[in-house]
Amino acid sequence: MPDLTIPHSRIQCIFQSEVYSLSADSWRKVDGVRCSSESFRGSRTYTNGMVSWEAHCHDWDGVLSFDMSDEVFLKTSMPDDVTADCCKHLFVLNELIAMAVIPVEEYEEWLEVCFDIWLMHEVGVRDSWTKLFTIGPFTEIERPLGVWKNDTIFLEKSERQLVLYEPSTKEMTNLQIGHEATYTLQLITYMETLVSVKGGNEFEEQGNC
């Protein structure tokens, strides 16, 4: 019998792109880029009318963004110092796309890790990446999730606990949110709106408007 076991790290998912229309109360497919995410916990974020996630297309590694207004995809390659083997997580910093990177050697050991924080100043422009600072070293920290007021950083612990980290004092506060049985934590920016997000879930094929 052949060995049909596939390591979880090699499982890749191809995503289909659809846009929901409030006026039509339906979903429709949009032309996308054939990219995949290496994990169901794929790093993704939303800011300035764009949803972005870490993606991989053949020999390309970077951030794929979808402009909700123009309904187009934009690809931003990773900085030269960030290789495909690095562990990467996206989040929002000052309304821009930020990325926390664990160097390969630290990711393989996973004892104490530091996160290099990068900021993308312009979507679609590789040279717009800037390395801001490094935080850590940490133990039992999975990834940064976002930044709160006064530059306090939300971190996810390996036990799926949410903690606040104060860079100036290096103090951590466990918010008692999450559980080790939780698959993942995600921080979502919420903005109040008077627009009612109501409708159905019917899928509309292209050409059948």
> pLDDT at position 99, please?
94
> pLDDT at position 154, please?
93
Q: What is the pLDDT of residues 165-209, one digit of tens each?
A: 999 899 999 998 877 666 678 777 777 777 666 655 555 555 443
Assign 46 to helix, strand or coil.
strand
Average pLDDT of the chain to the nearest whole number: 80
- CA gap 31, 16 in Å, rounded: 9
- CA gap 54, 130 in Å, rounded: 17
Q: Is 200 among the domain residues?
A: no
Q: Which amino acid is it at 105? A: E
Q: Is 209 among the domain residues?
A: no
> pLDDT at position 132, please?
95
Q: Is 196 among the domain residues?
A: no
Q: Is 3 among the domain residues?
A: no
Region 59-68: mean pLDDT is 89
How many CA within 13 A on the CB side of residue 109?
A: 11
Predicted TM-score (pTM) of the model is 0.78
Residue 102's pLDDT band (boundaries 50, 70, 90)? confident
Q: Pairing mode, if any, of strands 26-29 and 203-204?
A: parallel
Query: What is the number of helices (H) and of strands (E) in the chain?
Result: 1, 17
96 burial (CB, 10 Å; 0-12 / 13-18 / 19+) is middle
Whether residue 165 contacts residue 147, with contact meaning beta carbons closer than 8 Å, is answered with no
Region 91-98: mean pLDDT is 91
Beta bridge partners of 50: 47, 67
Residue 14's pLDDT band (boundaries 50, 70, 90)? low
> pLDDT at position 1, please?
47
Q: Is 122 among the domain residues?
A: yes
Residue entry with tokens 């993606």: 55
- CA gap 91, 85 in Å, rounded: 19
Enclosing domain of residue 62:
8-189
Count the domains in the chain.
1
- CA gap 66, 31 in Å, rounded: 11
Q: Is 127 among the domain residues?
A: yes
